Structure 1
Amino acid sequence: MPSPRKPESLVPSSPRSSELAIAEPTLYLPKVEVGRLFGVLLRRGWLVVLGMALAIGAMWYYVKGAPKIYVSTGSVEVSSHAPRVLNIDGLSPEDSKDLEQLRTIERNMGSSALLMRVAKANGLFTAPDFAPPGTSEQGVVAMLAQRTRVELDRGTRVVMLSVEDTDPQRAKRIVESLVSEYDLWIKDRREDLARRAGEGLAKEEEKLRDSMEQAETRLQEFRESHPVPGLEGREGSGPVTDQLGALNSQLTQAKSERLRLEAEYESFKKFDPEDPDSLGGIATTARSEEVLALSRSLQVKELEFSKIKERYLFKHPVFKEAEREVTSLKEDLVEAVRSAGQALEKSYHVALENESKLHGEVDGARTVAIGVEGVRSKFDGLKREADAARELHATVDRRLRETTLASAVAASAIAWAEPPFVPEKASKPAKKILFPLAAFAGMMGGLTLLVGVELKDGRVRDSASAARATGAPLLASLPELQAGREGDMVLLSDPASPTAEAFRRLRAVLLPPPAKPGARTVLFASAVPGEGRSLCAMNYAASLAMQGQRTLLLDGDMRRPGLSREHVRGEFGGLGDYLDGATDPAKACFQTALPNLYLLSSGPMRNDAAELLSGTRFPALLEDAYRWFDAVVIDSPPVLAVSDALAMSRYADRVCLVVRQNASERKNLRKAAELIRSSGGNLVGFVWNELSVRSKGQPAPEPVVPYSHPALSGSGETTGAGSASGESVSPTIT
């Protein structure tokens, strides 16, 4: 047997950090666990299927009882050039050139007034299959508006019409009535407007006719009282006015001639020989044509001379010849301009004298005609008044006649683009849409219910959830045992099984590090009963014993039957009796059938276990046990049931929490881990127990520790197996 280690202080201290725990035990876990989601779907997928089945069934019931709705469609084209026979404001056809007018037509075809006419035309107010009996006219129109759709097709001049109805024939008739009643409605509006306009025009025409007759009467009386020759003629039609008009015409012509000659003469006076283009604006006459011809010749010759300058020197004969020609042309042009100017001056003086004479003759003729001017002015005023009254009366009379024809002119600018047809198949209820939609809604409802049930069910179903709940890493995972083998010491009954290998893996994980060889006490705890705590403690202790370590398995559950309750007679005492000072622990310590494994019984059940564990005898017991055993494994009561496990965990080197699949709840695990850490326990991790939970009627068998007694005696005799080396050992625990 190894030499006893130096006992360490068993006084509770501040919580110790776990040697096995990493900085973040859940850091390695994925954020989204596909396997867990798949497991949830496998467990509760029936909720989704049930939701889809119920939704599809409800939709089938609805579709079976829902009335069949038929949709009849058609379209009308709005013309941009409607007939415009009359030009009366408010009575002319609709203008549909811009988008606002198209929207107006669209709105009018869906208005309540038009729908009222359509309902009356199709007898919808008395149709029991369209509206329930007793429905008001407003209600029928509202129902028709819900079933009617009028929409302008974007980017076109086409208005789409559609009507839903249970009767396919009536749906087609309603679409046709929308167009026909719209035409009649527009026509009625125009007839009403024409009637009101005609009444006003008739009254106005009568007043204007009286005014016209009075004006003509005054004009005739003035004509009879002033018999002036040429009174009704225009200016120049009478003897005097004719002469005055002729003189005025001659004066105007003379004045125009004088102005023309004056302008031409001024142009010649401003002529610059160096700038022949200055005569470009004069009128075309014989004199000006001669001057202009010389000017063009001079320009041509100057152009030629400029080319000669570039080629010859000024003393060259060609240069001199060209220079003489240019000089000669300039002299000829100046002489022609001078001669033309003198001739124009003479003609200008003659025209000025002629104009002066005509002015005198016109003044004399005007003096003669001024006597009859006053009579003519008054006559013209009366005539204008009579003409204005006649024209105004004619205009109003024409409008009045047009108004009477307004009802016969087509005012609508719409025409059928696609006439409606009788629908052959019902469009509602749309089974191809409703059933997939119901299935989707049922699936979403089932998923919602699934999530709610899963959130409400706090049971831990995988090791990742247990790691998140406890904040501790996974130490080992125990596969499911065969039925009836839940209480076996697996390392003995089936050493080649995956479960036995899992306990060996747990032994390797919990092996004390070289830095702390004395860390030999391992306490197995659980949040609630039935999670496999005793099974793990027994098999872990067996794995240490099989490795050659003298191991003490301490049954610390003094509240209920545990590892040693039904296999050790009460006369040998137990942990409770030792803590109470009533017995020696050697009487309660038995050697098991496995060499190097010893069992310390819990003894009779006690209610004062918490008080006994809070005393000093339990740490003293552990300190004495360290002298004779290489490892101590403690099987503790549930953490949340009683406080015994918390009182023992502070004296253990390591605390290992056992979590059973589908038995533990997240909140219980979180609370148990927090209590262990708060009490000073060193929670190093948890063991995931995949053993399935049995029903209450079929409880799993309790773990059994094979033993022989007595293993230890106060006299130091040894009746059990020896140490791993075969020596006879007689430990005495006092």
Structure 2
Amino acid sequence: MNTQMELPENGLVPMVRNGDEPYAAYDEAFEPSIFTRLWRIIWNNRLIVAVIIGLTMAVALVLTLLATPQFTSVARIQVNRVEANVADVEAVEPAGDALLYDEFYRTQYALLESKNLAERVARKLNLQSNEEFLSAFDIPSDGEIVTANQRRSIEITSDLLLDNIQINPVVGSSLVDVGFTSPSREFSRTVVATWIDEYIAANLERRFDATGDARKFLESQLAELRTRLEDSERQFVGYASQSGIVSLPSTGVQGAERTLAASDLAAMNEALVEARADRLAAESAFRAGAQQQQNQVATSLRSERARLSGERAKLLAQFEPGYPEIQSLDSQIAELDREIAAAIGTGTADLQRSLRQAIDRENGLEKEVASYRAAFNSEQQDTVQYNILRREVDTNRELYNSLLQRYKEIGVAGVAASNAQLIDAPRIPIEPSSPNLALNLAIGLLLGLGIAGAVLFAREEMDRSLRDPSDVKGKLGLSLLGVIPRIEDVDLYEELTDPKSAMSEAYLSVGIMLDMSTSHGFPRTLMTSSTVPSEGKTATSYAIASRMARNGRKTVLVDLDLRNPSVGKRLEIANDFGAVNFLTGSDDIRSLVHNEFQPGLSVLTTGPMPPNPGELISGPRVAQLLESLLQDFDHVVIDAPPVLGIADSPVLGAQVEGVAFVIEANRAGLRQIVGAISRLRGTGSNVVGAVVTKADDRNLDYGYGSEYGYGYGYGQSSSGD
């Protein structure tokens, strides 16, 4: 019973399990590594890789031998971030930490490769008429560099210099290597020396130009500020004179400068405070009777009276009051009392007079302070504008002094030395720097590897043939009957004749799978076909038939490829008569069969070439041929034509019990194979499985080939079909 399968639009059939459940073709854990696959691709295409690499290296060798020797002269300079200064003043351009490290050195490297520096060198060396330069670069006398105007010539030569200059910073240092390459040793050294000189000169010129521009700018600013300062000073002095404001010099305290009115007011206020203190002291002395403590005459008289009173008291202790000495003392004490009373009267008058004087002085000072206060208040109103004008004068003076100081500093900073110093002077090179044979060959090798890789990648992407035999199940929906390796330098049919040969063992698995293809075992009628010619279907047909004969089954091998018969030719059997004779009317099938080839195996060749093979195959005699053969043989194995291009195989497939489809590995595209299988199934053919033939190293990645098959050597089979 033939099983039909609908193919998806892309023509590929997913592998199925239990009839309709899709599953993965194989687990990724069993896939070969990417390195293994890459190595296999390279090894399988080793001839292409060798040819490409050989060609690229040969081209590199020829170009190296034909190239003009180039000489590179190199000098080393040191570029400092902070240049040496004669004076401790700042320059116009920022230096040192003012510029970041990377920013500074990238700027210097760009300056070393600048167009302006190249033009300076070209002008310095006068390259337009420099014979050494013209001969080194093979510039003809009528070339544009020589004939063009000076400006155009400088542009061209500077571009040529930039193409050959090399600026190589020494990593992790402030050193820079400057090199130039040309066919002339001397010219290379000259260019490098001039390049460094012009770089240093350009740095100095740029610094002096910046200083000059700054000085010019500051001169104009100073002139403007000078005029502004003079005008503000005139306004300030005029207003102070008009307002009568007299400013006194500072006494040393910042901001302590005062006007004359304020100073007078402060002095009068201090005098008033002092007068009030004197007046209060006089009042206190007058009210408290302090005059007695302050009158020295009265004090001394009291002391004398106290002494006399003491003597009188002593005498009274011994004598009576009428005692003459006591009376004398009484007279003296009475006189002292009169003198004390007179002295006390004189101190009170003095205190009253002092009090009146203190009050008068205080009143007078109060009037003076009031008048000074009024004058000061009036002056304060005028001081607002006075202070505004004074601040403007101070501001203009500070700006002027700052710019004047900066102007002087810039003049001194102009004497700074260059920040670039020559470390190693350029020398005349002895050996050429290029061409480098080893380097060029290495480049040729790498280029060859790259081209070979691209070619192999393109081939792999364009190759849509059957690589992985498991795709027979996964993409074609067929059972894999077996994988047959490619064999070189061996007669395939001699190998198949020997049942112990490696090839016979390979086809043994095919026969075993066919034994299980139907419910009753091996199909009684089996056809082999392929997508295109020369895929190994004839060898497969013979191997299957030979195996059945060795197993004791009477088998006949029938060649029905009427357009290109090959069974008779491969087995060296005369093709004088055969299937064509029966299809054209002969009924004696036994006389057409060759029975002497192998015990148990008979062969029916095609016979004479018919003019209409398509009509014979599609006629009713094919079915009669099969019925006649089955009467004498247990199994009929048919070697049929390929499917694509002709309709013979689809017609034959509908009349046999099973079809073994032969697929040559790495040849026909999967889309072609799917189309061929679809044509067979479209006519009702029962495709029982597929045999993958001629597996070689390209199939090792998928577990098939010499290393995974049967230990066979590989090579191109001598059999075409």
CA distance in 2, matches of 1:538, 1:444: 46
**2:702 corresponds to:** none
Asked if structure 2 preserves the Cα contact closer than 8 Å seen for 1:93 and 1:410, the reply is: no
Deviation, structure 1 residue 551: 1.9
In structure 2, the CA distance between the partners of 1:201 and 1:25, relative to structure 1 (3 Å rule), is: closer
**2:269 corresponds to:** 248
**2:25 corresponds to:** 27
**1:441 corresponds to:** 447
**1:126 corresponds to:** 126
Give the 5 Å matches for 1:184-223.
Answer: 184-195=205-216, 197-198=218-219, 201=222
**1:686 corresponds to:** 691
Asked if structure 1 preserves the Cα contact closer than 8 Å seen for 2:111 and 2:117, the reply is: no
Q: Which amino acid aligns with 1:678?
A: G
**1:653 corresponds to:** 657
Give the 5 Å matches for 1:277-356.
Answer: none
- Secondary structure, aligned partner of 1:510: helix
- Residue deviations 1:103-155 (CA, integer Å, cap 9, x gap): 5897588569997478547844623549955545556666777858699999x
In structure 2, the CA distance between the partners of 1:74 and 1:618, relative to structure 1 (3 Å rule), is: same
Give the 5 Å matches for 1:412-431.
Answer: 416=419, 419-422=422-425
Asked if structure 2 preserves the Cα contact closer than 8 Å seen for 1:15 and 1:682, the reply is: no
Deviates more, 1:96-105 or 1:575-584: 96-105
CA distance in 1, matches of 2:112, 2:650: 82
Q: Which amino acid aligns with 2:180?
A: D
Q: Which amino acid aligns with 1:182?
A: N
Deviates more, 1:177-186 or 1:449-458: 449-458
Deviation, structure 1 residue 196: 5.2
1:41 and 2:42 equivalent? Answer: yes
Deviation, structure 1 residue 633: 1.3
CA distance in 2, matches of 1:206, 1:645: 114
Q: Which amino acid aligns with 1:449?
A: V
Deviates more, 1:181-190 or 1:52-61: 52-61
- Secondary structure, aligned partner of 2:413: coil
Give the root-mean-square deviation of aligned CA atoms: 6.1
- Secondary structure, aligned partner of 1:78: coil
Deviation, structure 1 residue 556: 1.8
Asked if structure 2 preserves the Cα contact closer than 8 Å seen for 1:578 and 1:584, the reply is: yes
Query: Aligned match of 1:631 in 630, 635, 640?
Result: 635
Q: Which amino acid aligns with 1:27?
A: A
Give the 5 Å matches for 1:713-724.
Answer: none
How many corresponding residue pairs? 573
In structure 2, the CA distance between the partners of 1:190 and 1:617, relative to structure 1 (3 Å rule), is: same
1:528 and 2:532 equivalent? Answer: yes
- Residue deviations 1:602-634 (CA, integer Å, cap 9, x gap): 343223333333344433443454444321111
CA distance in 2, matches of 1:382, 1:481: 117
Which segments of 5 or more consecutive residues in structure 2 lack a partner in the other structure?
Answer: 8-14, 138-144, 182-187, 252-256, 279-355, 696-713
In structure 2, the CA distance between the partners of 1:576 and 1:421, relative to structure 1 (3 Å rule), is: same
Query: Aligned match of 1:622 in 607, 623, 626?
Result: 626
Deviation, structure 1 residue 443: 0.6
Query: Aligned match of 1:410 in 387, 390, 413?
Result: 413
CA distance in 2, matches of 1:171, 1:637: 79
Asked if structure 1 preserves the Cα contact closer than 8 Å seen for 2:271 and 2:365, the reply is: no
CA distance in 2, matches of 1:138, 1:49: 46
CA distance in 2, matches of 1:240, 1:538: 140
User: Which structure is higher in helix share?
Assistant: 2
**1:714 corresponds to:** none
- Residue deviations 1:470-502 (CA, integer Å, cap 9, x gap): 6645434556678684455843xx343223333
- TM-score, length-normalised on structure 1? 0.59
Query: Aligned match of 1:74 in 65, 74, 77?
Result: 77
Asked if structure 1 preserves the Cα contact closer than 8 Å seen for 2:56 and 2:448, the reply is: yes
Asked if structure 2 preserves the Cα contact closer than 8 Å seen for 1:557 and 1:602, the reply is: yes
Give the 5 Å matches for 1:420-499.
Answer: 420-422=423-425, 436-453=442-459, 472-478=478-484, 485-488=491-494, 490-491=496-497, 494-499=498-503
Deviation, structure 1 residue 508: 2.6
CA distance in 2, matches of 1:372, 1:14: 128
- Secondary structure, aligned partner of 1:475: strand
**1:576 corresponds to:** 580
- Taking only the aligned residue pairs, the percentage that are identical comes to 18
Q: Which amino acid aligns with 1:188?
A: D
CA distance in 2, matches of 1:148, 1:649: 76
Asked if structure 1 preserves the Cα contact closer than 8 Å seen for 2:484 and 2:692, the reply is: yes
Q: Which amino acid aligns with 1:165?
A: F
- Secondary structure, aligned partner of 1:496: coil
In structure 2, the CA distance between the partners of 1:594 and 1:238, relative to structure 1 (3 Å rule), is: closer
1:174 and 2:195 equivalent? Answer: yes
Deviates more, 1:646-655 or 1:118-127: 118-127
Give the 5 Å matches for 1:540-551.
Answer: 540-551=544-555
- Residue deviations 1:311-352 (CA, integer Å, cap 9, x gap): xxxxxxxxxxxxxxxxxxxxxxxxxxxxxxxxxxxxxxxxxx
In structure 2, the CA distance between the partners of 1:503 and 1:96, relative to structure 1 (3 Å rule), is: closer
Asked if structure 2 preserves the Cα contact closer than 8 Å seen for 1:187 and 1:410, the reply is: no
CA distance in 1, matches of 2:719, 2:526: 25
- TM-score, length-normalised on structure 2? 0.60
- Residue deviations 1:395-453 (CA, integer Å, cap 9, x gap): 89978976885664115888648744235678888988776455323211122123435
Query: Aligned match of 1:165 in 155, 180, 205?
Result: 180
**1:364 corresponds to:** 367
CA distance in 1, matches of 2:224, 2:483: 110
Asked if structure 2 preserves the Cα contact closer than 8 Å seen for 1:550 and 1:597, the reply is: yes
Which segments of 5 or more consecutive residues in structure 1 lack a partner in the other structure?
Answer: 1-8, 258-352, 703-734
**1:591 corresponds to:** 595
Q: Which amino acid aligns with 2:595?
A: Q
Deviation, structure 1 residue 558: 2.8
Asked if structure 1 preserves the Cα contact closer than 8 Å seen for 2:487 and 2:716, the reply is: no
CA distance in 1, matches of 2:513, 2:594: 28
- Residue deviations 1:615-664 (CA, integer Å, cap 9, x gap): 44433443454444321111222323532222111222222233456776
CA distance in 1, matches of 2:247, 2:4: 138
CA distance in 1, matches of 2:418, 2:654: 96
CA distance in 2, matches of 1:656, 1:676: 11
Q: Which amino acid aligns with 1:174?
A: W
In structure 2, the CA distance between the partners of 1:22 and 1:216, relative to structure 1 (3 Å rule), is: closer
In structure 2, the CA distance between the partners of 1:400 and 1:173, relative to structure 1 (3 Å rule), is: same
In structure 2, the CA distance between the partners of 1:620 and 1:407, relative to structure 1 (3 Å rule), is: same
- Residue deviations 1:448-473 (CA, integer Å, cap 9, x gap): 12343566677778867888886645
**2:612 corresponds to:** 608
In structure 2, the CA distance between the partners of 1:201 and 1:458, relative to structure 1 (3 Å rule), is: closer
1:516 and 2:520 equivalent? Answer: yes
Asked if structure 2 preserves the Cα contact closer than 8 Å seen for 1:70 and 1:428, the reply is: no
Asked if structure 2 preserves the Cα contact closer than 8 Å seen for 1:96 and 1:413, the reply is: no
Deviation, structure 1 residue 686: 0.9
Asked if structure 2 preserves the Cα contact closer than 8 Å seen for 1:637 and 1:645, the reply is: yes
- Secondary structure, aligned partner of 1:165: strand
Q: Which amino acid aligns with 1:249?
A: E
Deviates more, 1:683-692 or 1:238-247: 238-247
In structure 2, the CA distance between the partners of 1:244 and 1:542, relative to structure 1 (3 Å rule), is: closer
